[in-house]
Amino acid sequence: MRVLIVEDHRRLAAAVADGLRREGMAVDLAFDGDDALAHTAINRYDVVVLDRDLPGVHGDDVCRALVAGGNESRVLMLTAASTIKDRVDGLGLGADDYLPKPFDFAELVARIRALARRATAPLPPTLTHGDLTVDPSRRLAVRGDRRLPLSTKELAVLEYLLGADGRVVSAEELLARVWDEEANPFTTTIKTTISRLRGKLGEPPLIETVREGGYRI
């Protein structure tokens, strides 16, 4: 999944982003409201984690703009204010969830995953194909009776391909949904990751390369 963190405290934003990337998410950062709107105009995010008190365009106005523009991203609003009225006001703006600061990181991850399931066609908590089973929340992949030693990105690619349910997924789509804006589109990252993933999945092969199309399970 791809997530946008909108937070003007750069150290906090970077720390949260690093933690979410370790959870297998692709994460972009914006540090004010204008930057947030610029990001959402060109990228599709499953979840926008939005600080309410932003410089420039206020977080409330960012939320209103996303809702008014029909943006499909789910909005998790953060704020240091934690009264019931603040929560009601935030949800009234169109936010999908609300988390007061300071927050527990594990709870943040759980809420982002829950919102991401609502942002797209719902997927089962465990993905299966033949003798392959993937549990994204536990970051676990098993084929037969063998646990697969997958890296964070390999697991994310496998999860995305399984979620496509046999549809051909282009390299460009994988780059946009599994990697973040720091990824270089001109590298061989996708091919290298697919190659390593195939090797770890073993036989018989599960990932097919579709000429001039992309990849599918």
Q: What does the pLDDT look like over 183-216, one tens digit per residue?
A: 776 678 899 999 999 999 999 999 999 988 899 9
Secondary structure, 3-state, 38-106: HHHHHCCCCEEEEECCCCCCCHHHHHHHHHHCCCCCEEEEEECCCCHHHHHHHHHCCCCEEEECCCCHH
171-187 average pLDDT score: 82
For the ranges 47-51, 92-96, 102-106, the maximum mean pLDDT occurs at 47-51
Helix, coil or strand: residue 37? helix
Instruction: Classify strands 140-143 and 132-135 as parallel, antiparallel or unpaired.
Output: antiparallel
Confidence check: pLDDT of 13 > 80? yes
Tell me the one-letter amino acid at 104.
Answer: D
Structure tokens at 135: 């549990």
pLDDT of residue 110: 92
Instruction: Classify strands 208-210 and 214-216 as parallel, antiparallel or unpaired.
Output: antiparallel
pLDDT of residue 84: 61
pLDDT of residue 132: 96
Alpha carbon distance 7, 30 (integer Å):
7
Instruction: Classify strands 47-51 and 74-79 as parallel, antiparallel or unpaired.
Output: parallel
Tell the CATH topology of 127-216. Arc Repressor Mutant, subunit A (1.10.10)
What are the phi and psi torsion angles at 145 (to 5°)? Answer: -110, 20
Cα dihedral value 59, 38, 4, 78, nearest 10: 0
The arrangement of secondary structure in 2-119, i.e. its CATH architecture, is: 3-Layer(aba) Sandwich (3.40)
Q: Could you give the percent of the chain with pLDDT greater than 70?
A: 91
Q: Could you give the percent of the chain with pLDDT greater than 90?
A: 59
Which DSSP letter does residue 23 get?
Answer: T
22-26 average pLDDT score: 90
Domain ranges of the chain: 2-119, 127-216
Helix or strand holding residue 133 (H, E): strand 132-135
Structure tokens at 86: 């603040």
Q: What does the pLDDT look like over 58-100, one tens digit per residue?
A: 999 999 999 888 888 999 998 876 556 666 665 677 889 988 8
153-157 average pLDDT score: 94
